[in-house]
Each structure stands twice: as structure tokens, then as C-alpha cells.
């Protein structure tokens, strides 16, 4: 009999499992799947009209890897990719991994200032990109920033002589060279540099290893019960962990097939892909599922092949989750919670969980991972049922922020705990629920936005004297950006003019949807801006009560 201590259970859990971590590189894991399932379909890109078996995908990966070697790319070199989803994105991901180069993923929505920052901060020597996308001339923007980046010596564009030339360069490298280089790699070496907005300052490059992302992809797939018979529809972007880890690596570590419905998200294209390709799993952030369910001809698509999938990236509305389970036939749909810095998933619901747990929590701790909830002020673990900051530790935590030890130390403590900045509770059975954020990051449809980054750009406007940016509730995106602006004396700037100015200078998802001109901001007696009061005022003035009160998991 255990003596009673009179204390409640602490908010701590660890993911126990009989399945060991994969102590291998991405290249070795991929090669083993190719050997086991050479003739199985690995990827289908419906917009490109391309289908590759595992053997065909492996041949393309080897070809591009040898091309990179011919261009002088070596272990540890940074190769950036700036493109929407396409087969070549996956090829480059596995090609860089097979020779130990670090893939730097660039958000397709970035513009010149953001592109220049990421390429410069990562010291990328090569960028591989689509020539253009959605009216944005990537080639011209790369030319513009390249002048100030002397270390960027090679630009390769898809759909033309650039990509073809890279593939042709493979002829100068022996066929077995990639395998030789692969034997010199270690699972703990960095392989992926993903820029995340975090909560303060400019984007930070989360430095992730083979071990980090291979295992996270594998255990996410395990959580969805993925097998070689599954076909995973991936409308989420590859530049983010959701696409390249939870999508690609979950698939290749289990021998399943990736289906790309379109280069960027289009709800009808997703429904068409699921129906035509008989997809068994579907991924998306809540806004994607909302858009799919809202299609006028939704009921005309046969989605009966669906079984599972993942809804993640931002708080998941409970009613939407219930419709996905019933109308989309995803009886085993799961919710994942995580962040780029943790590869990304830390918790996941199970197909065996009750509908309440699968719609009102973010599940249990992941295998081989620890989570705890602490008092943000004292740093001590709190009792279950109490709200505090969620922290996570384990194989999935990044090496650190690229070339930024100070901000790494702010995020990861001496004991190896990643402090997420999210407020959470853990119940008596270990289920975690995200109840808010201890910091002021805005999450718009799965995109992380720093208020400070938007504020600093708005400060550049000649008619703006002061500005504060907050997130306000939105029924479609979960949150959107709102700017409270104090103009200079005599200024006549209007909201739409300011938004148009922003659209020319920043990614579309960062542009304030709401602009409020004020003479002063809500302040504490010590002069600190009270952003929570700004949010409360906005909810009332803009009539956002319904969006603010929406139940989320």
C-alpha cells in the first residue's frame, strides 16, 4: 500500500512505448522502404500529372543528390527551397538529407525583406525555387536580394534549364557516391532549418536533426495507424513541419503514398483528390476543413475511403471536428499539438479516444516525449487541472535556434525543457488541453505571426506615430491581425490605404485585417500597454463575440 502524501498529482506525463526510437538517418530509413516496396506508389501530384513509385522516387532523389554534390554542396551546407508543393520539393528534401546538407524551408508567402533575412541569417549557399507563384515573381525577387548576399552562389529554378541542369550534373558523380556519403552521416546531425515566428523578434531558424524529424514523422504515423496501404492527402504546405514531417516522413517511414491535390490549398481540389485517389487519410488546419465542408457540391464527392488524418496548426473548433468525423467519414481523425521547435508534435489524440476527448483535448503525450505544466512565474510543476505553461522534453526538441544562442537559452532551459509559451491544463488521465497563450503570438489559420514584426514595419510608414498589433478572434482563421494605430498630427491615412501599403511589403497573412485609429492605448499605471484589453474592446466593437466564444480543442 502506498502511503498518502496529501498532495495532488503533478501535471507531468511521459510517453511510454514498446517501440524504440529509430536510430538511423532519413536516407537509411528511406532506402529500407524502397527495398521493401519498390513498386508501391510513393507520391502522386495531381496538378503536375506525376506519379512515382518508391523505386522511381529513389532514382530521382539519387540523381538530384549527385547533382548537388557536383555543385559542391557538402554536409552541413545550407540549401534553401522556396516553392509551393510539388514532387521536386520532396525529391530535394530527401536528396539533401541523403548527403547531409541542411534544407532551409522558405515560406512561399514571403516577400523580399523576409526572403533576404532567411537566406542571410542561414548563410544559404544555394536556393532552389519555383520561378513564380500566385503572381509573385520569385526569380526577380531572388535576383534583387542576391546582390546583398555574397554567400549565395547558386540559384536553381524549377521548370527550366536550372533544374534540368542540376539533374544533368549528376553525370559527373559516380553512382555509388551518395551511398558513401550517407555512411558518414549520424542521426544527431542537423538536416532541416525551419524558420518560425515564435513570439518575439524576427523569425528564428529551428535547427532539427535526422533523429528529430524522422522519429516525429514515424510516431505521428503510428498515432494515425498508418500502414503501407494508406494514401495520405497533403494539402498543407511542405515548407512547414506539417507537410514535410507529418506528411512525407510519416509516409516514407511506413511505406504509404503521398497525394498532393494542388500546389497550394484549394478546397475543391482536395475533395477531388480524395475521391479520385481513394485517400485514406487527410491532413489540414481547421480553416482547410471548414472550407472543404463549405463547398456547395461537397455531397457529390465520394469520401468513403477516408479513415484517419490530422487536424492541427491552430485551435480546432469542436463542431468542425465532429463534422469531419461524420460527414467526411474520418472516424479515426486525430488532433496533434506541437511547435516547429519540437519537430513538431508533442501530443496527439488516439483513434480509440472518446469523441469528447478527440474534440476537446489535444490528447496524450507522444512516445519518448515528456510534458509538464508549470507555474510561469516560479517554474514549478503545478497540480493537474490547473492552468500553466506547457513544457516538453525529449528526442524531439531542436538543437537550438540557428546561430542564436541567446534566444535558444530563452526557449530551452538547462534541463532540456522547451518552454512553449502556451497555457495548458492536464487532467487526471493525462489529457492535455490548450487554454491560451502566455505570450502574444498570433496564429492565423496555422501561420504564426509576431506582433512585433508587423509593428516594426508599420512604424516605417511616415504617417504612423505609434502602433500596437494584437490578434482578434475570427470564425474562419481562428485569429487575424488587428493594428491599433496612432497617427502623426495632421495625418489623414485611412485603413484601406494602410492595408494596401502593407500588402506590398509583407506576406498576406501578416497584413492587418482590422485597423483602428486611436489617440491612446489602454495602459497600466506603469505605462505598459494592455493588449488583452485591446482584444476585449475589439471583440465588442467589431461584434466578434461568437468567434471569441467558439469552443476549441
List Cα–Cα distances, 247 to 84, 191, 250, 272, 294, in angstroms.
Answer: 15, 17, 5, 19, 24
- What is the per-residue pLDDT for 552? 65
The span from the CA of 358 to the CA of 184, in Å, is 43
To the nearest 10 degrees (0 to 180), the angle between helices 54-70 and 87-99 is 60
Flag the least confident range among 186-190, 196-200, 226-230. 196-200
Instruction: Round the average pLDDT of the chain to a whole number and report it.
Output: 92
Instruction: For residue range 448-488, list pLDDT tens digits in order.
Output: 787 878 887 898 899 998 888 999 999 999 999 999 998 98
Calculate the CA 518 to chain-centre distance.
Answer: 35
The span from the CA of 271 to the CA of 239, in Å, is 22
Q: Please report whether residue 517 resides in a domain.
A: yes
**Which residue's entry shows cell 487532467?**
427
All three cell numbers of 395, joined, read 528526442
∠121-75-152 over CA atoms, to 5°?
40
- What is the per-residue pLDDT for 306? 98
The span from the CA of 474 to the CA of 482, in Å, is 11
Among 342, 337, 339, which residue's Cα sits nearest to residue 396? Answer: 342
Across the range 190-213, mean pLDDT stands at: 85
Across the range 338-348, mean pLDDT stands at: 97
Q: Residue 191 above 80 pLDDT?
A: yes
All three cell numbers of 151, joined, read 554567400
Across the range 274-289, mean pLDDT stands at: 94
The span from the CA of 116 to the CA of 105, in Å, is 13
3-state secondary structure 259-311: EECCCCCCHHHHHHHHHHHCCCEEEECHHHHHHHHCCCCHHHCCCCCCCEEEE
Instruction: Show Cβ contacts of residue 57 under 8 Å, excluding neighbours closer than 6 positions.
Output: 34, 42, 43, 90, 91, 94
Tell me the percentage of the chain whose pLDDT exceeds 70. 95
Q: Residue 123 above 90 pLDDT?
A: yes
Residue where one domain finishes, among candidates 186, 216, 240 = 186
pLDDT band with cut points at 50, 70 and 90 for residue 201: low
Q: Please report whether residue 437 resides in a domain.
A: no
Instruction: For residue range 361-394, list pLDDT tens digits in order.
Output: 999 999 999 999 999 889 999 999 998 999 999 9
**Which residue's entry shows cell 500566385?**
134
Tell me how long the chain is. Answer: 553
- What is the per-residue pLDDT for 30? 98
State the burial class of residue 518 (Cβ atoms within 10 Å of its Cβ: 0-12, 13-18, 19+): middle
Across the range 335-350, mean pLDDT stands at: 96
CATH assignment of the domain containing 539: 3.30.300.30
Q: Please report whether residue 232 resides in a domain.
A: no
pLDDT band with cut points at 50, 70 and 90 for residue 171: very high
All three cell numbers of 487, joined, read 497617427
- What is the per-residue pLDDT for 4? 36
Phi, psi dihedral angles at 29 (to 5 degrees): -65, -40
Which helix (H) or strand (E) segment is 390 a member of? strand 388-394
Contact 270, 283 (CB under 8 A): no
Number of domains in the chain: 2
Write down the pTM of the prediction.
0.85
Among 534, 538, 509, which residue's Cα sits nearest to residue 197? Answer: 509
Across the range 6-22, mean pLDDT stands at: 89
The span from the CA of 136 to the CA of 263, in Å, is 14
Across the range 270-295, mean pLDDT stands at: 94
Residue where one domain finishes, among candidates 186, 204, 235 = 186
3-state class (DSSP) for residue 221: helix
Question: Of 170 and 529, which is predicted with more confidence?
Answer: 170
Phi, psi dihedral angles at 270 (to 5 degrees): -65, -50
3-state class (DSSP) for residue 353: coil
3-state class (DSSP) for residue 403: coil
Range of the domain at 94: 25-34+52-186
**Which residue's entry shows cell 517554474?**
379
Q: Please report whether residue 227 resides in a domain.
A: no
User: What are the DSSP calls for 461-487, one per residue?
Assistant: STTEEEEEEEEEEETTTEEEEEEEEEE
Contact 299, 251 (CB under 8 A): no
What is residue 8's DSSP assignment? P
Calculate the CA 117 to chain-centre distance.
Answer: 19
- What is the per-residue pLDDT for 163? 98
Across the range 91-109, mean pLDDT stands at: 97
Q: Please report whether residue 457 resides in a domain.
A: yes
Contact 240, 343 (CB under 8 A): no
Contact 170, 66 (CB under 8 A): yes
Residue where one domain finishes, among candidates 186, 205, 231 = 186
pLDDT band with cut points at 50, 70 and 90 for residue 516: very high
Strands 514-517 and 478-487, sheet pairing: parallel
- What is the per-residue pLDDT for 5? 41
- What is the per-residue pLDDT for 56? 98
The span from the CA of 103 to the CA of 342, in Å, is 17
Q: Please report whether residue 201 resides in a domain.
A: no
Instruction: For residue range 226-247, list pLDDT tens digits in order.
Output: 999 999 999 999 999 999 999 9
Across the range 307-314, mean pLDDT stands at: 90
pLDDT band with cut points at 50, 70 and 90 for residue 541: very high
Instruction: For residue range 394-450, list pLDDT tens digits in order.
Output: 999 999 999 999 999 999 999 999 999 888 999 999 999 987 666 677 888 988 787
- What is the per-residue pLDDT for 450? 72
CATH assignment of the domain containing 105: 3.40.50.980
Q: Please report whether residue 282 resides in a domain.
A: no
Phi, psi dihedral angles at 448 (to 5 degrees): -85, 135
Q: Please report whether residue 113 resides in a domain.
A: yes
Amino acid at each position: 500500500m502506498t502511503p498518502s502524501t496529501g498532495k495532488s498529482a503533478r501535471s507531468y506525463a511521459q510517453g511510454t512505448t514498446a517501440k524504440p526510437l529509430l536510430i538511423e538517418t532519413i536516407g537509411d530509413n528511406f532506402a529500407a522502404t524502397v527495398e521493401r516496396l519498390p513498386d508501391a506508389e510513393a507520391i502522386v501530384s495531381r496538378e503536375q500529372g506525376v506519379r512515382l513509385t518508391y523505386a522511381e522516387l529513389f532514382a530521382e532523389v539519387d540523381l538530384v543528390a549527385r547533382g548537388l554534390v557536383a555543385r559542391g554542396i557538402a554536409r552541413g551546407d545550407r540549401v534553401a527551397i522556396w516553392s509551393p508543393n510539388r514532387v521536386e520539393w520532396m525529391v530535394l528534401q530527401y536528396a539533401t538529407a541523403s548527403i547531409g546538407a541542411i534544407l532551409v524551408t522558405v515560406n512561399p508567402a514571403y516577400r523580399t525583406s523576409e526572403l533576404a533575412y532567411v537566406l542571410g541569417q542561414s548563410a544559404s549557399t544555394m536556393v532552389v525555387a519555383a520561378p513564380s507563384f500566385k503572381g509573385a515573381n520569385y526569380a526577380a525577387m531572388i535576383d534583387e536580394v542576391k546582390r546583398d548576399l555574397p554567400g549565395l552562389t547558386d540559384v536553381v529554378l524549377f521548370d527550366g534549364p536550372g533544374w534540368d541542369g542540376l539533374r544533368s550534373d549528376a553525370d559527373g558523380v559516380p553512382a555509388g557516391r551518395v551511398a558513401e556519403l550517407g555512411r558518414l552521416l549520424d542521426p544527431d546531425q542537423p538536416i532541416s532549418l525551419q524558420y518560425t515566428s515564435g513570439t518575439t523578434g524576427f523569425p528564428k531558424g529551428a535547427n532539427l536533426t535526422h533523429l528529430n524529424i524522422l522519429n516525429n514523422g514515424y510516431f505521428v504515423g503510428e498515432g494515425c495507424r498508418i500502414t503501407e496501404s494508406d494514401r495520405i492527402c497533403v494539402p498543407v504546405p511542405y515548407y512547414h513541419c506539417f507537410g514535410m514531417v507529418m506528411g512525407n516522413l510519416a509516409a516514407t517511414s511506413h511505406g504509404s503514398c503521398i497525394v498532393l491535390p494542388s500546389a497550394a490549398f484549394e478546397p475543391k481540389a482536395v475533395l477531388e483528390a480524395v475521391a479520385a485517389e481513394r485517400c485514406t487519410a487527410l491532413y489540414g488546419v481547421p480553416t482547410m476543413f471548414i472550407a472543404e465542408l463549405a463547398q456547395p457540391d461537397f455531397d457529390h464527392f465520394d469520401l468513403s475511403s477516408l479513415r484517419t488524418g490530422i487536424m492541427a496548426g491552430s485551435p480546432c473548433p469542436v463542431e468542425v471536428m465532429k463534422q469531419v468525423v461524420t460527414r467526411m467519414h474520418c472516424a479515426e481523425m486525430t488532433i496533434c499539438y506541437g511547435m516547429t521547435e519540437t519537430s513538431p508534435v508533442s501530443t496527439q489524440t488516439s483513434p480509440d479516444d472518446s469523441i469528447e476527448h478527440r474534440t476537446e483535448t489535444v490528447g496524450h503525450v507522444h512516445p519518448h516525449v515528456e510534458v509538464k505544466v508549470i507555474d510561469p512565474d516560479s517554474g514549478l510543476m503545478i497540480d493537474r487541472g490547473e492552468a500553466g505553461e506547457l513544457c516538453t522534453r525529449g528526442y524531439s526538441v531542436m538543437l537550438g535556434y540557428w546561430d542564436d544562442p541567446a534566444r535558444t537559452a530563452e526557449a530551452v532551459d538547462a534541463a532540456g525543457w522547451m518552454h512553449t509559451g502556451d497555457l495548458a491544463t492536464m487532467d487526471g488521465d493525462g489529457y492535455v488541453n490548450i487554454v491560451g497563450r502566455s505570450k502574444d503570438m498570433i496564429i492565423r489559420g496555422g501561420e504564426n505571426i509576431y506582433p512585433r514584426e508587423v509593428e516594426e514595419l508599420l512604424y516605417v510608414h511616415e504617417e504612423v506615430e505609434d502602433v500596437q498589433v494584437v490578434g482578434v478572434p475570427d470564425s474562419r482563421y481562428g485569429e487575424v491581425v488587428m493594428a491599433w494605430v496612432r497617427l502623426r498630427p495632421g495625418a489623414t491615412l485611412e485603413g484601406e490605404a494602410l492595408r494596401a501599403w502593407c500588402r506590398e511589403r509583407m506576406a498576406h497573412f501578416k497584413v492587418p485585417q482590422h485597423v483602428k485609429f486611436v489617440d491612446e492605448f489602454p495602459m497600466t499605471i506603469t505605462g505598459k500597454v494592455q493588449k488583452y484589453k485591446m482584444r476585449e474592446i475589439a471583440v465588442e466593437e467589431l461584434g466578434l463575440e461568437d468567434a471569441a466564444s467558439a469552443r476549441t480543442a
